[in-house]
Amino acid sequence: MTHHIAFLGEPGSYSDLACRRAVPDYAAVPCPSFEDVIAAVHEGKADLAMLPIENSIAGRVADVHYLLPNSGLSIVAEHYQPVVHHLLGLPGSKLEDIRIVHSHVQALGQCRQWLRDHGIKSVVRSNTALAAAELSQTIKDPTIGVIASEVAGEIYGLNSLAADIADRKNNTTRFLVLTKSCNVPQAYDSPCITTLLFRVRSVPAALYKALGGFATNGVNITKLESYLVDGQFTAAQFYVDVEGNPVDTSLKNALEELAFFAHEVKIMGTYPASPFRNT
């Protein structure tokens, strides 16, 4: 029986490459939006979802942060995907011919200075691989290029006019792998990460008190993101990654203390830490 994993974009996108690398035995299912990726799992079209959560240059993927709380999915793994951006053009095009590039907003942001240095304007598209497909199949303009992966160029018959054009090297995107199954904490033989969400009111020392239990119990917080919810400025929701497992005494005690000062505490998943964290 073939298993499937849903991702955003078209074949050749960085999410597709993440699927190929993380779960090579799974058939990848392309989806036009993050909402469709989540729906594919709920509707039985896919067993897993691959969602980007943050990039080492551009920061968090805001849409995913907003969708996670009500996604109905649990995190079962993380994957760090190296991102090597190529400027792709039609066969025969040269770098000096390119006046405009199409790509996803994250890719454009990661290459902002390079594009500025070369006097190239940018146009936002829904994803990198779709931009490559459109250039190859419908636009066919030699003055237009796309920023996408080298694999996308191979799939859609485009040439690489410049390689590794991100403004900073070691460009990496962290992905989360999710499933519909309830993630009941279990023991792991290797270090693991627990992702949780909680809310606090916008009052003095609310966050300090909420996070105090992690410090007193020796639990390391590796990521903390905040964002407003429900269109209000009076409360904030926090996304937190911590080292450890809720079955461990230290994290169990920290979560009990968190519950005194925060509300709507929700564990999104406990999963093995990627070896990339040690590089």
Active site residues: 173, 175
H or E element in which residue 26 lies: none
Q: β-pairing, 4-8 with 27-31?
A: parallel
Q: β-pairing, 192-201 with 86-89?
A: unpaired
CA dist., res. 58 & res. 109, Å (int):
7
Closest CA to 61 of 117, 106, 1: 106
CA dist., res. 145 & res. 137, Å (int):
13
For residue 111, what are its two tokens? 């290459």
CA dist., res. 89 & res. 93, Å (int):
6
DSSP state of 227: E
Closest CA to 51 of 199, 3, 39: 39
Provide the 3-class DSSP secondary structure of residue 235.
strand
For residue 208, what are its two tokens? 């300090």
- DSSP annotation string for 52-117: EEEETTTEE-HHHHHHGGGS--EEEEEEEEE---EEEE-TT--GGG--EEEEEHHHHHHTHHHHHH
For 108-184, list the strands marked E by DSSP: 121-125, 144-148, 159-163, 172-179
